[in-house]
Structure 1
Amino acid sequence: MTGVESRQMRNRRAVLAAARFGRPTTRLEIARMTGLSAATVSGLVADLITDGVLVELAQRVPAAGVAGGRPAAALAVNPALGALIGIHLAHAGVRILLAGVDGAVRAEHAHDIDVEHQPADTLEYVASTALDLVADLEIPHRELLGVGVAVSAPVLLHSQTLSSPPMLSDWGEVDIAARLGKRMGLPVHVGNDADLGALAEWRLGAAASADNFVYVMLSEGVGAGLVLQGRLYAGDAGAAGELGHVTVVPDGLICRCGSRGCLETVVGARALATTLAHSHGPTCSFADLISLAHQGDPGVRRLLGDAGRAVGTALAPVCTVLNPKLVVVGGTLAQTGEPLLTGIRETLARNVSPVTNRTPEVLPGALGTGAEALGAVITANQFADLG
């Protein structure tokens, strides 16, 4: 391959990476993202359209950053190119999505299972269920482009394996990508669930207008995903964003990570259900808490406000250091709404340093409990060979 050909292929891949999966984009926006000239982008987009990789949409997109600029033709990846599978392995359940390369969800399945202590059964379940979804829609295997997996644990960047000791207690020796790849006959890419939830909300959800934000996932576990300067930030080894293991009660309970008084021991699902049991009985569950919140139960509203203030306490130094535009709150607990969000907002307003000049806006996630699985689909898409 000649140098000119090699450069052209690199530029083609860069244009496709800028256009794939997410809100429709434009030639001008692709040029801004890639640093390529408008003429180069125009030529490559024309080739990708001719090859059936990109499509020009009927809709028009306002010219970004150009006052009074005419709306431009919108571009997107051709949805006919194939399908992707996204899997979320939480502590106590799984979610499986089948989606097109345009992000449209074609099928979805959620199931409660003891993920933490049943790695073999869990992987067999998600693999067989995902392949059943494919069969039900009569999608040929050759049209499947890959699998993304969101895991409730830090994932080492260099190996896509879980950090040691793993936050999923019985998964220390489990190579998720290798096992699922062999079972499903597809490339598999693994990432931390809060990171992938952030990716989904950035590409398709509440943070679509922000290149600097913090995504907070509040479910069985607690985590955060960081998007900084338009890039997902995972830290040196992949463990950035472990907000659930920030100490908020110095003499508090021992956490499963080995530390004391972590945020997760205060606002994790088990902690909240245990607290609620004192007033609502020992059988009260996390699902009951969500239901009671929707009913306006006063005790639950108080509990959620306290939880929001604890989250805000952990978040305030993060926001002082990083100065994000937004905080997006997702996960199962985010479904409870305003008492939780108000607690976070009030605490950030009080504790974020004035030197930042502004307190970040706090918004609920737009994608609900499916954000992490959708982020897994986006990750699989990023590695898929679309041409």
Structure 2
Amino acid sequence: MIGFEIGYSNLRGVKLDAEHRIVGFNQAIWDTRESLVAQIIDFINRTKEIFGDFERVGVAVSGIVDKTRNKVLLSRHFAELSSTDLAAELKQNCKVDAVLENDANAGAWAEYKLGAGIGAQSIFYILLGKGVGGAIVCGDKLWRGSAGFAGEIGHVLVNTEENLRVEDVASSDGILRRIRNRIHQDQTSSLARISEELITITDVVREANNGDDFTQMMLERTGNYLGVAVAGLINILNTEKIIVGGDIMQAGAPILRGISQTTAQFAFRPSLDSTQIISGSLGEKSVAIGAALLT
């Protein structure tokens, strides 16, 4: 089984054997100045040289995917994908049948089957990236909603005074914007040694893991915001597990701490007590793994 993730800065591909073990991995950074579709085609063809020939692949993208037509309907961050029949392009140029999937759905399925969701009958998965996505798995099925758009937690309002949604505060762009707006108030932070406009999520993860108080505080506050939406999920869905994934969760402890603080305030106690809130366990490969499993 072969799966690809079209990430915001990376293209990732994995090959799974019959026991769902990773037996191949490939990764590339894509150039925003060039056609994304052309780079996807090139990446898949180069991956064939590493994995050996294959005819069917899963491809996970950030955006709304019409599963009936196997097309990307809307991608806020990859407009080119919305105007391209990606599956047809891959069929013509790579000689593969591509099954398109939303990235959060793919990540959720991977964690449910092979990661932090093992043993649970129901999970809600949150993918923190350049956007914020979500997905529901219940009874060994992805629950897509009536039109296929279920799980879009990124659009949930968490601050009515400033009209802030989850994506505004918990996406990588949102986290960086908040840090850049506050860093001048804490010149003792190790992040203060970096020019504000040059701070990246990689820097944030590194300094949080190195124990920088300011960085950990900002991630904890990210969790506080996210916890407002998570409390609503707990109250309405009462899934066994809420799993938080994405690259930022490499420094996830303060985010989970912030979520726990807020859910303790706003979630219905019996529902909260029966729900685990945890990090995903599959790391950067989770979305590509899920894309492979869903082919």
TM-score (structure 2 length as normaliser):
0.89
Cα shift at 1:87: 0.5
In structure 2, the residue matched to 1:87 is: 4
Q: Compare 215-224 and 201-210 and name the one that shifted more.
A: 215-224
In structure 1, the residue matched to 2:255 is: 340
In structure 1, the residue matched to 2:157 is: 247
Residue 177 in structure 1 maps to residue 92 in structure 2? no
Cα shift at 1:189: 0.4
Q: Return the index of the structure with the highest Cα Rg.
A: 1
Paired with 1:106 and 1:357, the residues of 2 have a C-alpha distance of: 38
Structure 1 segment 178-327 matched on structure 2, within 5 A: 178-252=88-162, 261-278=164-181, 279=183, 280=192, 281-282=195-196, 283-327=198-242
Cα shift at 1:93: 1.9
Cα shift at 1:317: 1.2
1:143-166 residue CA offsets vs partner (Å, 9 max, x unmatched): x35200111112112112122465
SS in 2 for 1:107: strand
Cα shift at 1:237: 2.2
Count residues in correspondence.
283
SS in 2 for 1:220: coil
Query: Given residue 353 of structure 1, which amino acid in structure 2 is its aligned partner?
Result: F
Q: Which runs of 5+ in 2 are unaligned?
A: 184-191
Paired with 1:117 and 1:304, the residues of 2 have a C-alpha distance of: 33
Residue 349 in structure 1 maps to residue 264 in structure 2? yes
Contact 1:293–1:301 (8 Å) recurs in 2: yes
Paired with 2:292 and 2:27, the residues of 1 have a C-alpha distance of: 15
Query: Given residue 159 of structure 2, which amino acid in structure 1 is its aligned partner?
Result: V
SS in 1 for 2:160: coil
SS in 1 for 2:199: coil
Assess, with a 3 A threshold, how the Cα gap between structure 1 residues 93 and 251 changes in structure 2: closer, same or farther. farther
SS in 1 for 2:24: strand
Contact 2:41–2:94 (8 Å) recurs in 1: no
Q: Which has the higher contact order (CA 8 A, sep 6+)?
A: 2
Q: Which runs of 5+ in 1 are unaligned?
A: 1-83, 253-259, 381-387
Paired with 2:49 and 2:207, the residues of 1 have a C-alpha distance of: 35
Cα shift at 1:126: 2.4
In structure 1, the residue matched to 2:276 is: 361
Q: Is the strand fraction higher in 1 or 2?
A: 2
* Percent of residue pairs bearing the same amino acid type: 26
Contact 1:98–1:130 (8 Å) recurs in 2: no
Query: Given residue 259 of structure 2, which amino acid in structure 1 is its aligned partner?
Result: I
Paired with 2:210 and 2:175, the residues of 1 have a C-alpha distance of: 17
Cα shift at 1:379: 1.1
Paired with 1:277 and 1:304, the residues of 2 have a C-alpha distance of: 13
SS in 2 for 1:133: helix
Q: Compare 278-287 and 355-364 and name the one that shifted more.
A: 355-364
Paired with 2:288 and 2:33, the residues of 1 have a C-alpha distance of: 17
Paired with 1:360 and 1:87, the residues of 2 have a C-alpha distance of: 31
Cα shift at 1:362: 1.0
In structure 1, the residue matched to 2:23 is: 106
SS in 1 for 2:79: coil
In structure 2, the residue matched to 1:11 is: none
